């Protein structure tokens, strides 16, 4: 591994100063991706800044504006958190799928997001909950909707000296639920060939869809919202045929490639199937029957 300097700040202000240092500075949240990238020379660094000791980046709790998730908080903590499981079940689903249990104990949700891999499991679930990214940097803090955070494979809106401080998920309304499913060649510890997160808010009296969110993984250059499918659902009475129509519409947002793990057509079919399944899981979790 190439040599680099290492720092472990304990305050947000110290972290901001270090991240703005000259040269190539890398933020380390969990390190499960970064350390391997440095070892294999896929990335270089003059300075690595370990953010796990900064209290603001370890936050996990609810406030008036929703659930705050510090960027360095590990996947295991979210997977087992009662509030996450009750209100953001799709996120609980996905944080239990990131690598092995040992990886989940170290890997940070913020790191998974900033790695900006199209196959990242946690990101679609953050997207369907309309997450906001809070970015810290030398010019102060700024907020970006997570839908605008990704600009390409492995690329985000983060500028020199900036790092992800936390993610904010608005509190979901009653009679709503989310779910996540992916397809992988092996039973575990593999990269998604395709993944789908869904969110539904249903009026229990009329069974009308008040809000729908669907996000896809591994089928586009970045994680992507299936907005055409959402439009099919919103304002309509939920039914099996409506779910089928939304599942077909979700494929319109998929622009997959063909590689050794699957063809583009195969991935499109997976999007259709996984969309239908996750929407039905949402209904089960809300307690609405067709």
Q: What is the mean pLDDT of residues 99-115?
A: 93
Percent of the chain topping pLDDT 70: 99
| Cβ-proximal residues to 270 (8 Å cutoff; 6+ apart), any chain | 183, 193, 194, 262
Q: With bands split at pLDDT 50, 70 and 90, how would you rate the model's confidence at 119?
A: very high
CB 5 within 8 A of CB 46: yes
Residue 97 predicted with pLDDT over 80: yes
Q: CATH assignment of 176-286?
A: 3.30.390.50
Which among 203, 202, 228 is positioned nearest to 215, based on CA atoms? 228
pLDDT of residue 149: 98
pLDDT of residue 190: 82
Token duo for residue 62: 């609810």
pLDDT tens figures, 237-247: 999 999 999 99
Architecture of domain 59-169: 2-Layer Sandwich (3.30)
Residue 187 predicted with pLDDT over 80: no
Token duo for residue 95: 């944080």
pLDDT of residue 38: 94
| Cβ-proximal residues to 104 (8 Å cutoff; 6+ apart), any chain | 74, 75, 76, 79, 95, 96, 98
Q: How far apart are CA 7 and CA 25, in angstroms?
A: 10
Q: With bands split at pLDDT 50, 70 and 90, how would you rate the model's confidence at 262?
A: very high
pLDDT of residue 29: 95
| Cβ-proximal residues to 267 (8 Å cutoff; 6+ apart), any chain | 193, 194, 218, 219, 254, 256
Q: With bands split at pLDDT 50, 70 and 90, how would you rate the model's confidence at 179?
A: very high
pLDDT of residue 1: 76
Are the folds of 5-50 and 59-169 the same?
no
CATH of 5-50, one of 3.40.190.10, 3.40.50.300, 3.40.50.720, 3.30.43.10: 3.30.43.10
Q: What are 35's strand-pairing partners?
A: none
pLDDT tens figures, 121-165: 999 999 999 999 999 999 999 999 999 999 999 999 999 999 999
Residue 231 predicted with pLDDT over 80: yes
Q: What is the residue extent of each domain of the chain?
A: 5-50, 59-169, 176-286
Q: What is the pTM of this model?
A: 0.95
Residue 75 predicted with pLDDT over 90: yes
pLDDT tens figures, 81-96: 999 999 999 999 999 9
CB 135 within 8 A of CB 19: no
Average pLDDT, the chain: 96
């Amino acid at each position: 591994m190439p040599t680099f300097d290492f720092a472990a700040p304990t305050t947000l202000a110290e972290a901001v100063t270090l991240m703005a240092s000259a040269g190539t500075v890398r933020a380390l949240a969990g390190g499960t991706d970064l350390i391997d990238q440095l070892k294999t020379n896929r990335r270089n660094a003059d300075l690595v800044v370990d953010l796990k000791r900064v209290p603001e980046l370890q936050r996990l709790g609810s406030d008036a504006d929703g659930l705050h998730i510090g960027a360095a908080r590990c996947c295991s903590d979210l997977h087992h958190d009662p509030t996450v499981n009750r209100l953001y079940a799709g996120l609980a689903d996905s944080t239990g799928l990131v690598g092995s249990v040992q990886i989940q104990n170290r890997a940070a949700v913020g790191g998974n997001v900033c790695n900006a891999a199209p196959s990242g499991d946690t990101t679609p679930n953050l997207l369907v909950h309309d997450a906001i990214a809070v970015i810290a940097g030398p010019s102060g803090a700024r907020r970006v909707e997570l839908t605008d955070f990704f600009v390409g494979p492995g690329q985000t809106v983060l500028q020199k000296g900036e790092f992800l401080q936390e993610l904010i998920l608005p509190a979901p309304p009653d009679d709503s639920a989310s779910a996540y499913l992916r397809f992988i060649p092996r039973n575990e510890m593999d990269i998604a060939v395709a993944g789908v997160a869904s969110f539904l808010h249903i009026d229990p009296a009329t069974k009308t869809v008040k809000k729908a969110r669907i996000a896809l993984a591994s089928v586009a250059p970045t994680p992507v919202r299936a907005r055409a499918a959402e439009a099919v659902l919103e304002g309509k009475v939920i039914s099996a045929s409506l779910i089928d129509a939304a599942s077909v519409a979700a494929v319109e947002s998929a622009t997959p490639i063909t590689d050794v793990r699957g063809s583009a057509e195969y991935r499109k079919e997976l999007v259709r199937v996984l969309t239908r399944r996750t929407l039905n899981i949402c209904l089960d979790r809300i307690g609405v029957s067709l």
